[in-house]
Structure 1
Amino acid sequence: MPSFAAMDGTQLAYRIVGEGEPLICIPGGPMRASSYLGDLGGLLETRRLVLPDLRGTGRSAVPDDPATYRCDRQVADIEALREHLGAERVDVLAHSAGGDLALLYAARFPQRVRSLVLITARARALGIDFTGEQRLEAALLRQGEPWFRAGLDAFEALLAGTASDADWEAAAPFFYGRWDDAARKHAASEVEQTNEEAAELYTSSGAFAEPAAVRAAVADTPVLILAGELDGGPLPRVAADIAGLFAKAELVVQPRAGHYPWLDGPGRFAGTVTGFLRNRA
């Protein structure tokens, strides 16, 4: 994998797949290696996907200072990647907890961001987040599934903060629109792909200290906000609240999709993102 040096000297790795204009794709987790994004449902057919492993994940080096795992302190890593690519301006896609990092990057470097694509993304940087009750609301949409009863008990333990490893496994189907072999394989890789220490520090005190300033800085950034119909993080109506903070927002709710919509409907997902980016070219 190619790599580049962050401002503090940490060597950060990234993958490139596809051809065309670069699209920087920030992974979530938080702090999960970018390999879980795959090719984003075939999005590589129309864009050159640049998939960084955030510091301390995947093939990127562990930093000397663990405090640099904090979300806002990784903004400089995304800027170093843009400079390394030699791109004057970039489109940025982010998934889940990566949404906060993308928003903070766009707020600090608005002149470098052509557009944002936020996929089932958190927006704590804007002062909006989802709740456990909202996650449970989405979970109850799955009552027709054969795994629902056992999964719900585990999901409630997860929300209460008392989940065992077995509970996490049993609750995994709630995050996918289809609990098929591809989803099972994807879910099984999460633990080994995630830096748990870094994940704990990602949202440490001060990470999202100025939501009003971030909202003002990104308000005019063109943004696609894609939510999953079956996802609780965020619910579609919470995604609509996020969209309402932007002057140029497009909100799309992908039918029958969970937290990983490129797995649940790859063609629909790639078509939605490609259409948005082409309109912004």
Structure 2
Amino acid sequence: MPHFTSYDGTQLAYRVLDDSRDGKPPLVCLAGGPARDAAYLGDLGGLSAFRPLVVPDARGTGGSPPADDLGAYAFPRQADDVEALRAHLGLDRFALLAHDAATATAQAYAATYRDRLTHLVLLNPGSRLQGELPDDARQIFESRAAEADWWEDAYVAVQLLAHATDLDEIRGLLLRAAPLAYGRWDPPQQEHAAAEGEQLNPVPRAAFWQGVTEETRLALLGRLRAARVPVLVVTGDLDGVTGLRTGEAVAASFPHARLRPLHGVGHYPWVDEPEMLRPLVEDFLTDTLEL
């Protein structure tokens, strides 16, 4: 696995997935969680056949070492790691994709290094950075009560997760609650969910918002309003984790953003509907005019 040297001398790991063979520029892809091993992204539903995917392991995940300073796990500092990766790859400008919590890192990067981005793709974002916590994810989950026999057990697991502290217990509860994150609960979804427990990294996760003050949050949002990068925000209408309205709040933070809700899709669109997600991202990266 290749490594790059970040701003503080730490060697961080990354993977390159490339089945494209046509010389297109890479797409840097950030895993969420926060602090979940990037393996859960897979090849993002076959996007690696379209262009190379560069997938870094955030500090304390995958092949990257833990941080000595807990503040290095905070998403604005992780944006500095992304900038070090860009320099290592020798890219003047590049396209960036992020999922879930990593969309906060990507937004911090866009706010701080906005001239380095050609395109920004935000999959199933939360909106804590925007200061909004819509409750429609819960409503989506509850609306599926009559849909399948998994619902009641998932509901109980969600309630228990709020008070669980033992890591093994949390892993078991996450698996029981997992169906709420997918558009359906078929073998591909079950296989994807089964890996989550071993991909968790509790310390980096807990420190993701470490030291991020209200002043910092507002400053980042203010700079996003001047970011001219074209942005694609993707949500799923069956996403019981972050919901739909968070995507609306995130898209509204940028002057040039398009919002695309996907039907029948949960929190992992490349698992639920790869044939829907892949052309959407491909077309955006190919056809969007740089601003």
TM-score range, shorter chain: over 0.9
Structural mapping, 1:262-281, within 5 Å: 262-280=270-288
Which residue of 2 is the match for residue 237 of structure 1? 245
Please give the TM-score of this superposition, normalised by the length of structure 2: 0.89
**SS of structure 2 residue aligned to 1:28:** coil
Q: Secondary structure at the match of 1:278?
A: helix
2:168 is aligned with 1:177: no
Q: Within 2, Cα distance between the matches of 1:81 and 1:248?
A: 25
SS at match of 1:124: coil
Q: Could you tell me how far 1:162 is from its partner in structure 2?
A: 4.2
How many Å apart are 1:189 and its aligned residue?
1.3
State the Cα deviation string for residues 57-88 of structure 1 (Å, max 9, x = none).
10112223233111112121000000001000
TM-score by length of 1: 0.92
- Unaligned 5+ runs, structure 1: none
Give the whole-Å Cα distance in 1 for the aligned partners of 2:6 and 2:137.
Answer: 36
Give runs of aligned pairs for residues 36-185 of structure 1, distance below 5 A. 36-130=40-134, 133-143=135-145, 144-158=147-161, 160-162=162-164, 164-165=169-170, 166-185=172-191
1:125/1:210 contact within 8 Å kept: no
1:16-36 per-position Cα deviation (integer Å, ceiling 9, x unaligned): 112421111010010111111
Alignment check: 8 A CA contact 1:223 1:248 kept:
yes
Aligned to 1:14: 14
**What is the distance in 2 between the residues matched to 1:111 and 1:42?**
28
Distance (whole Å) between structure 1 residues aligned to residue 86 and residue 133 of structure 2:
28
- Opposite residue 239 of structure 1, the aligned amino acid is G
Identity of aligned residues (%): 38
Give 5+ residue unaligned stretches, structure 2: none
Distance in 2 between residues matched to 1:248 and 1:233, nearest whole Å:
26
Task: State the Cα deviation string for residues 211-253 of structure 1 (Å, max 9, x = none).
Answer: 3322232233311000011113432233123212222111111
Runs of 4+ residues deviating >3 angstroms: 160-166
User: 1:27·1:34 contact (CA, 8 Å) conserved in 2?
Assistant: yes
**Higher share of residues assigned helix:** 1
Are the aligned partners of 2:160 and 2:173 in contact in 1 as well (CA < 8 Å)? Answer: yes
- CA distance in structure 2 between the partners assigned to 1:207 and 1:27 by the alignment: 23
Greater Cα offset, 100-109 or 176-185 = 176-185
Letter in 2 for 1:107: A
Cα offset for 1:208?
6.1
The CA distance in 2 between the partners of 1:147 and 1:42, in whole Å, is 29
Q: CA RMSD in A?
A: 1.8
CA distance in 2, matches of 1:43, 1:21: 13
TM-aligned CA deviation for residue 6 of structure 1 = 1.1
Q: What SS is found at the alignment partner of 2:33?
A: coil
Q: Retained in 2: the 8 A contact 1:71–1:207?
A: no
Distance across 1 between alignment mates of 2:214 and 2:92: 27
Give the secondary-structure state (helix, strand or coil) at the position aligned to 1:231.
coil
- Work out the CA distance in 2 between the residues paired with 1:162 and 1:176: 23
Q: Which amino acid aligns with 1:139?
A: F
- Structure 2 residue matching 1:256: 3-state secondary structure: coil
